[in-house]
């Protein structure tokens, strides 16, 4: 992130040497790269990075950018374990169920987090809460996505798909698809990660030998002397057997800095969007299991609350998986729209 911000500052400081408009910088990426693009777009000019940028010798100018393209961004890591269990807790992993006690505890923690966001949904939906997340996701993302996909099929392909997926109710007269959230989860089939999905349990005595086959995030929060560190109080407490344990004071600011929601929610609280990229293009696959859909939908919704719905173009691509760019031409057209380009 420090390198990316330094690059933005370098481009701005050398505007005459670069083609194009340095006030129209757009960052795009997928998965972890989508997370970095989201962070770059959300954290513009944040003072939290000042000491790092100074130490690097970065140019003394601003580092906010114009727009973000993010495909399946793996964000909000300090709440991602909770969200993962909310969505995928009942699904199997590698042919078996995960620890239901851990899953239920994380799911319970997610209720407090989601309700505390008090985000307003699209149109006149009202506040999105733990009790209506599934309804909101279906109404504004998954059912419209399924309908768009089904409408694109030939008559024979449509008949075949609906025959295989009888859980979907298709109204051909209105081109609408409806289904239950539980049936949608069954369609996904299996979870992609164990529990916890991100801040995995590991023995502090073996920090240098952490197995990252399931999660690399514990290593992401390591430092110059420690290969891996827990970044949530929950996993730290479970690992240490100490219900009062909290992550170190030096780590908490870094956890905040690595979460775009931290900057966006502060922007909503203070009614200030000056450092946040003004336009966002966010995509995910409807059957992706690398993170919960609500993590990505919360990101989009918080940006809609801060910037306005016309500044956010978010969509779930039907039957697509993680980090799939199903419509590259659509992204390029969107860029043309936001910069006012006309053919």
Q: Report pLDDT digits (tens) over 233-278.
A: 999 999 889 999 999 999 999 999 999 999 999 999 999 999 999 9
Exposure of 7 by Cβ count < 10 A (0-12 exposed, 13-18 middle, 19+ buried)?
A: middle
Residue 307's pLDDT is 98
The domain locations on the chain are 2-76+259-338, 78-117+193-255
Q: Would you report the helix, strand and coil content of the chain in percent, each value rounded to 5?
A: 50, 10, 40
pTM value? 0.95
Residue 343's pLDDT is 57
Residue 227's pLDDT is 79
Which is the CATH superfamily of the domain at 2-76+259-338?
Alpha/Beta hydrolase fold, catalytic domain (3.40.50.1820)
Q: Which residues pair with 120 in a beta bridge?
A: 127
Q: Give the separation between CA 248 and CA 233, rounded to whole angstroms.
A: 10
- Please give the sequence-ordered ranges of beta strands (E in DSSP) within the chain, or none if there are none: 26-30, 67-71, 169-171, 176-178, 279-285, 312-317
- Give pLDDT < 70 ranges for the chain: 203-215, 342-343
Taking only the tens place, the pLDDT of each residue in 36-47 is: 999 999 999 999
Taking only the tens place, the pLDDT of each residue in 10-33 is: 999 999 898 889 999 999 999 999
């Amino acid at each position: 992130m420090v390198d990316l911000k330094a690059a933005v500052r370098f481009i701005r400081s050398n505007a005459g040497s670069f083609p194009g408009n340095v006030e129209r910088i757009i960052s795009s990426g997928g998965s972890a790269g989508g997370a970095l693009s989201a962070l770059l777009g959300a954290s513009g000019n944040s003072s939290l990075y000042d000491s790092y940028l100074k130490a690097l010798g970065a140019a003394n100018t601003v580092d906010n950018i114009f727009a973000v393209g993010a495909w399946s961004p793996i964000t909000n890591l300090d709440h991602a374990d909770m969200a993962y269990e909310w969505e995928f807790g009942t699904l199997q992993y590698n042919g078996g169920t995960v620890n239901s006690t851990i899953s239920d505890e994380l799911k319970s923690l997610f209720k407090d987090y989601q309700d505390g966001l008090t985000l307003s949904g699209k149109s006149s939906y009202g506040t999105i809460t733990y009790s209506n997340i599934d309804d909101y996701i279906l109404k504004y993302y998954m059912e419209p996505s399924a309908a768009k996909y089904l409408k694109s099929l030939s008559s024979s392909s449509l008949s075949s798909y609906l025959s295989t997926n009888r859980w979907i109710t298709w109204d051909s007269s209105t081109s609408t698809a409806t289904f239950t959230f539980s049936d949608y989860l069954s369609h996904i089939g299996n979870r992609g990660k164990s529990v916890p999905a991100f801040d995995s349990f590991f023995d502090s005595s073996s920090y240098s030998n952490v197995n990252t086959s399931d999660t690399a995030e514990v290593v992401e929060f390591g430092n110059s002397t420690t290969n891996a560190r827990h970044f949530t109080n929950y996993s730290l407490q479970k690992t240490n057997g100490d219900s009062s344990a909290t992550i170190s004071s030096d780590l908490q600011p870094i956890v905040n800095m690595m979460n775009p929601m931290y900057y966006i929610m502060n922007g909503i609280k203070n009614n200030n969007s000056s450092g946040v990229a003004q336009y966002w293009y966010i995509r995910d696959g409807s059957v992706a299991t690398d993170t919960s859909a609500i993590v990505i939908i919360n990101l989009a919704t918080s940006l809609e609350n801060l910037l306005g719905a016309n500044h956010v173009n978010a969509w779930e691509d039907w039957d697509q998986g993680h980090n799939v760019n199903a419509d590259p031409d659509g992204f390029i057209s969107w860029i043309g729209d936001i910069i006012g380009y006309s053919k």
